[in-house]
Amino acid sequence: MVLGLSLFTMVAIASRPEAAAESSIRIAAGDTLPSWLATVANGPLSRAHWGVAVFDIEAGRWVALHNADRFFVPASNLKLVVSAVALERLGPDFTYRTTVYATQPIGSDGTLNGDLVLYGRGDPNLSGRHAPSMTSIFEWLADSLVKRGLKRVTGDLIADESHWDNEYHHRDWSGFDQMWWYAAPVGALGFNDNSIDVSIRPGPRAGVPPSIETRPQSPFYTLDNYAMTGPRGTESTFDMKREPGSNRITAFGVLPLDEPPDTAYVAVVGAADYSATILRSVLVDRGIEVEGRVRTVSDPLASPVLSGDSIALANHRSIPMARVLESINGRSQNWHAEQVLKTLGREIAGAGTWKAGLEVERETLARLGMDTTAFLLRDGSGLSPANLTTPRALTELLTTMRSRPDGDVFARTLSVAGQSGSLKGRFRGGAAQGRVRAKTGFIANVYALSGYMTTVSDREYAFSVFVNGAGSRANPAIDRLVEGFILGWAP
């Protein structure tokens, strides 16, 4: 819903002294700036490197440009690139397939004298995000196997991730980040965002361990709780760590009695094994015995599926790409963005790698008429601090996508100010609520917001705002800038 403003309110805001302040922004060649932006530049952003580009889509003209051709670290605003390219090259109806194969026919007694293979093709939603429960998709696959008469597997349960490469973490990502969901391992076979859900709340009284519950429950990992519940008002020192190269998680520190419940998402090591281990538990619950072990196949030459020595038994088809992109741009799911990037590499260039996916992105940007020298791309999610782009380039991409066949689909993947996704808590109750669809962005000292806004005079602008080298006051400044354009402060 778009909020309206009274004429009195609009006049009062537009006529306040600061709105007419003379700009002390250093004007570069090609800059176009309304004077009221001085209040933003001379305040929270005065020591930051910041840039803005605003384009009037209907009039076909730039409304504001400042440092618009300078490079910035875009953080999660980079997800707009992988989303646009996915719609252009794969389409909104593209779906993933996850298949269970057998290396031998099922015998008349229900015995498979061979291996069972779980073959992944990169589906980022083998989880409960779009299913009744976390394991529902595996339950559906298991039910299909029961219908085929499968009762016993004498061989192994193979987790086949050979559809892509086995470079799970980007070289630019920090070791600390790799413990958490936002930098979970990227691979062709993954379950529950390749993370463990850890729910944490204080114990019933001080001096006892806090309550820690994990989902899914599985022998794939262990959690040792050495933490303690502290008195009300004490400082929280609670934290968790994962032993390097293992799935052994340790909780430690003090969690005060008045600390609210929280949920952390710890990334796993060995994502394909994780997926197959959970499937094995589901198979056992359905009465299907697997006598062998769970093992992972990463080499295409060792894959029974790619060699043709397998029989398809059950298949799951994912939600369409348009829905996947809602998680990427709405909830800013890093792992989903990287999954889509490697999907682009595999489907378009024949290689499920970061390198191939990035090449597809560059090629597609060129097809769309973008200046590809304005995009220095390292990953799909924007987690790498080595990504660079310019406000003008990203705004041009947004403008171009608005006129593409799937432009409306693209716009609907974005968060709505004050209403949904990562913008649900921003712009609430103000002029921008319901008038902005945009992608947020944040990594250390980097803040960004790019998307579409509709002014009070119903003009649609594409915009991009980047702030590098600023503290937490950057977001309120960005919001105020956006509201200024929506209220018509711009000439």
Residue 301 is assigned to a structural domain of this protein: yes
> Do 277 and 399 fall within a single domain?
no
Predicted pLDDT of residue 47? 85
Residue 462 is assigned to a structural domain of this protein: yes
CA-derived radius of gyration, the chain: 25
Q: What is the pLDDT of residues 427-456, one digit of tens each?
A: 999 899 999 999 999 999 999 999 999 999
Predicted pLDDT of residue 352? 98
Predicted pLDDT of residue 16? 33
> Do 378 and 466 fall within a single domain?
yes
Residue 2 is assigned to a structural domain of this protein: no
> Do 201 and 252 fall within a single domain?
yes
Pick the last residue of a domain from 299, 319, 339.
Answer: 319
**27: pLDDT strictly greater than 60:** no
CATH code, domain with 139:
3.50.80.20
Residue 491 is assigned to a structural domain of this protein: no
Query: pLDDT averaged over the chain?
Result: 92
Residue 259 is assigned to a structural domain of this protein: yes
Lowest-confidence pick of 28-42, 131-145, 172-186, 320-334: 28-42
Residue 408 is assigned to a structural domain of this protein: yes
Confidence of residue 35 (pLDDT cuts 50, 70, 90): confident
Lowest-confidence pick of 3-12, 48-57, 318-327: 3-12
CATH code, domain with 26:
3.40.710.10
Q: What is the pLDDT of residues 269-293, one digit of tens each?
A: 999 999 999 999 999 999 999 999 9
Predicted pLDDT of residue 21? 33
> Do 278 and 150 fall within a single domain?
yes
Residue 256 is assigned to a structural domain of this protein: yes
> Do 224 and 290 fall within a single domain?
no
**17: pLDDT strictly greater than 70:** no
> Do 45 and 153 fall within a single domain?
no
Confidence of residue 26 (pLDDT cuts 50, 70, 90): low
Q: How many domains are there within the chain? A: 3
> Do 48 and 183 fall within a single domain?
no
Pick the last residue of a domain from 249, 267, 285.
Answer: 267
> Do 464 and 352 fall within a single domain?
yes
Confidence of residue 45 (pLDDT cuts 50, 70, 90): confident
**262: pLDDT strictly greater than 90:** yes
Predicted pLDDT of residue 2? 38
Q: What is the mean pLDDT of residues 320-336?
A: 97
Q: What is the mean pLDDT of residues 114-121?
A: 98
> Do 191 and 236 fall within a single domain?
yes
Pick the last residue of a domain from 201, 235, 267.
Answer: 267
Predicted pLDDT of residue 24? 42
> Do 52 and 103 fall within a single domain?
no
> Do 71 and 106 fall within a single domain?
no
**Domain range spanning residue 110?**
97-169+270-319
pTM beyond 0.95, yes or no: no
Q: What is the pLDDT of residues 413-430, one digit of tens each?
A: 999 999 999 999 999 998
Predicted pLDDT of residue 5? 31
Confidence of residue 387 (pLDDT cuts 50, 70, 90): very high
**10: pLDDT strictly greater than 90:** no
> Do 364 and 434 fall within a single domain?
yes
Predicted pLDDT of residue 40? 66
**6: pLDDT strictly greater than 70:** no
Residue 1 is assigned to a structural domain of this protein: no
Lowest-confidence pick of 9-23, 236-250, 375-389: 9-23
**471: pLDDT strictly greater than 90:** no
Predicted pLDDT of residue 309? 87
Q: What is the pLDDT of residues 347-358, one digit of tens each?
A: 999 999 999 999
Q: What is the pLDDT of residues 161-213, one digit of tens each?
A: 999 999 999 999 999 999 999 999 999 999 999 999 999 999 999 999 999 99
